[in-house]
């Protein structure tokens, strides 16, 4: 039996509409709070839109749950620098998200050149508002496995040189380069790490055939990178913390000749992380990573509730409902060794 302070998910996609009841259900079972990504269609760009989305999420939250969605604004070339001060004053909107235009799902309204948002970044630095970053180079000539490293060199380093006090969360890091970069950075740079990047390398996408449910962005990398992420996650360094990047797409959109990027892990997120930490005998490091470090970085209260995980095998269902469609979760029809059994 393993008891943990109730974890928070610092990178989550819930989508919208009739899908919310299904996605919120899974996350609210496990997490006290989650940082909700704003890449809807159309994206969440204003405080008013974020508040309206937050209310839709709360309306879809199961009765009796105290789950709190924390919101993010989608940064665009046209974001108003004056809004940064209002974000700093908000208790429910915590950060901005940088999607380089074209980098990932619903990023077409993203930033076309980082210089265009310098006035916003200046205000964010001034007011202490964190920037969450999808860190991949968008130049299609750059090899897809090298895009995270190229982003560090071409975008992140010059931006931090110009705004050295800007708080940055390098989201869903996938390489040793990114882990080393964050480890060797100043205290204002942190990173989230997904469960799937801790558990799998790029072979998973091609195991006996093409496996669309293991395709996400940034794409899974070589084993050496997975090892580096695992080392960072269990290091006890408080600038590495949990963000699932659980990213649901209906089964038809994944199992397609041009399938969407994203792995759905919210149904068993903490169990998947526990499995990864146990694989290197580091379950004692899970609570800091999952429940403390993210709250500290964002400057919100640490959790007080406790959840309990048990060592007991269970089989993940083939699908879960997703609005009026279905979603295939990670590890569908396979066995998981941990199971969350309660909260108090
Ligand atoms: N990670 C993914 O593969 N997909 C995410 C977008 C993102 O986080 O980049 C999505 O919204 O589907
Ligand atoms: Zn992303
Ligand atoms: Zn994401």
pLDDT tens, position by position, 263-299:
999 999 999 999 999 999 999 999 999 999 999 999 9
CATH (domain of 105): 3.20.20.140
Query: Is 15 labelled as part of a ligand binding site?
Result: yes
Q: Does the structure show a pLDDT above 90 at 111? A: yes
Asked if 52 and 46 count as a contact pair (C-beta separation under 8 A), the reply is no
Average pLDDT over residues 317-344: 97
The reply to whether 206 falls in a domain is yes
Average pLDDT over all residues of the chain: 98
Residue % of the chain over a pLDDT of 90:
99
Whether residue 283 is contained in a domain is answered as yes
Decide if 310 is inside a domain: no
| pLDDT of amino acid 344 | 85
For atom 9 of ligand 1, which residue has the closest CA? 104
Angle at 114 between CA 111 and CA 116, to 5 degrees: 80
Both tokens assigned to 289: 């990573």
Q: Is 203 annotated as a binding residue?
A: no
CA angle 251, 255, 261 (to 5 degrees): 85
How far lies 93's CA from each of 13, 53, 167, 205, in Å?
Answer: 15, 11, 15, 35
| Domain count within the chain | 1
How many whole angstroms from 43 Cα to the centroid of ligand 2?
14
Q: Is 39 annotated as a binding residue?
A: yes
Domain that holds residue 100: 9-303
313 falls within a domain: no
Question: Which atom of ligand 1 sits closest to the CA of residue 99?
Answer: 9
Instruction: Say what percent of the chain tops pLDDT 70.
Output: 100
**Cβ–Cβ under 8 Å, residues 128 and 95:** no
Q: Whose CA is nearest to atom 4 of ligand 1?
A: 262
Domain membership flag for residue 191: yes
Ligand 2 centre to CA of 342 (Å) is 31
Report pLDDT digits (tens) over 3-51: 999 999 999 999 999 999 999 999 999 999 999 999 999 999 999 999 9
**Ligand 1 centroid – CA 57 distance (Å):** 19
* Within a domain: 3: no
Joined together, the tokens standing for residue 343 give 């909260």
**How far is 74 from 111, CA to CA, in rounded Å?**
9
8 A C-beta contact, residue 85 and residue 51: no
Residues tagged active-site? 245
| Region 147-173 average pLDDT | 98
* Residues 189-232: tens digit of each pLDDT: 999 999 999 999 999 999 999 999 999 999 999 999 999 999 99
**pLDDT band (50, 70, 90) for residue 99:** very high
- Structure tokens belonging to residue 225: 């990178």
What percent helix, strand, coil does the chain show, rounded to 5? 40, 20, 40
**Residue 334 belongs to a domain:** no
* Res 80: pLDDT: 97
The set of protein residues with a Cβ atom below 6 angstroms from ligand 1 is: 13, 39, 104-105, 134, 216-217, 245, 247, 261-262
Residue nearest to atom 6 of ligand 1 (CA): 105
Terminal CA-to-CA distance of the chain, rounded, Å? 14
For range 107-124, the mean pLDDT? 97
User: Span 140-144, mean pLDDT?
Assistant: 97
Task: Kindly tell me if the per-residue pLDDT of 234 is higher than 90.
Answer: yes
Non-local CB neighbours of 215 within 8 Å, separated by 6+ positions: 205, 254, 259, 261, 262, 263
Q: For residue 216, tell me if it sits in a domain.
A: yes
* Mean pLDDT computed over 151-169: 98
CA atoms within 13 A on the CB side of 194: 29
Give the model confidence (pLDDT) of 61-87 as tens digits: 999 999 999 999 999 999 999 999 999
152 vs 296: CA distance, rounded Å: 24
Residue 158 CB neighbour total at 10 angstroms: 12
């Amino acid at each position: 039996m393993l008891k943990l302070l109730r974890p928070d998910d610092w990178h989550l996609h819930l989508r919208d509409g009739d899908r919310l009841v299904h996605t919120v259900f899974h996350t609210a079972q496990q997490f006290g709070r989650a940082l909700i990504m704003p890449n809807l269609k159309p994206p969440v760009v204003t405080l008013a839109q974020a508040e309206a989305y937050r209310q839709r999420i709360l309306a879809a939250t199961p009765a009796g749950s105290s789950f709190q969605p924390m919101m993010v604004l989608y940064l665009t070339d046209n974001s108003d620098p004056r809004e940064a001060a209002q974000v700093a004053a908000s208790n429910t909107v915590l950060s901005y998200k940088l999607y380089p235009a074209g980098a990932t799902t619903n990023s077409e309204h993203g930033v076309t050149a980082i210089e265009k948002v310098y006035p916003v970044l200046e205000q964010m630095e001034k007011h202490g508002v964190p920037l969450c970053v999808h860190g991949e180079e968008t130049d299609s000539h750059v090899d897809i496995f090298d895009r995270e490293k190229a982003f560090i060199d071409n975008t992140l380093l010059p931006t931090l040189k110009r705004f050295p006090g800007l708080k940055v969360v390098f989201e869903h890091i996938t390489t040793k380069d990114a882990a080393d970069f964050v480890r060797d950075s100043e205290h204002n740079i942190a990173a989230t790490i997904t469960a799937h990047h801790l558990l799998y390398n790029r072979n998973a996408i091609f195991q006996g055939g093409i496996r669309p449910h293991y395709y996400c962005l940034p794409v899974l990398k070589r084993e050496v990178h997975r090892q580096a992420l695992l080392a960072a996650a269990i290091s006890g360094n408080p600038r590495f913390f949990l963000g699932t990047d659980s990213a649901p797409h209906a089964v038809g959109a994944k199992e397609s000749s041009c399938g969407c990027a994203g792995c759905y892990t919210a149904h068993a997120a903490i169990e998947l992380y526990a499995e990864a930490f146990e694989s290197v005998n580091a379950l004692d490091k899970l609570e800091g990573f999952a429940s403390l470090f993210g709250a500290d970085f964002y400057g919100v209260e640490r959790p007080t509730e406790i959840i309990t995980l048990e060592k007991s095998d269970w089989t993940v269902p083939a699908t879960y409902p997703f609005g009026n469609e279905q979603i295939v979760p990670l590890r569908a029809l396979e066995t998981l060794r941990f199971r969350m059994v309660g909260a108090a």
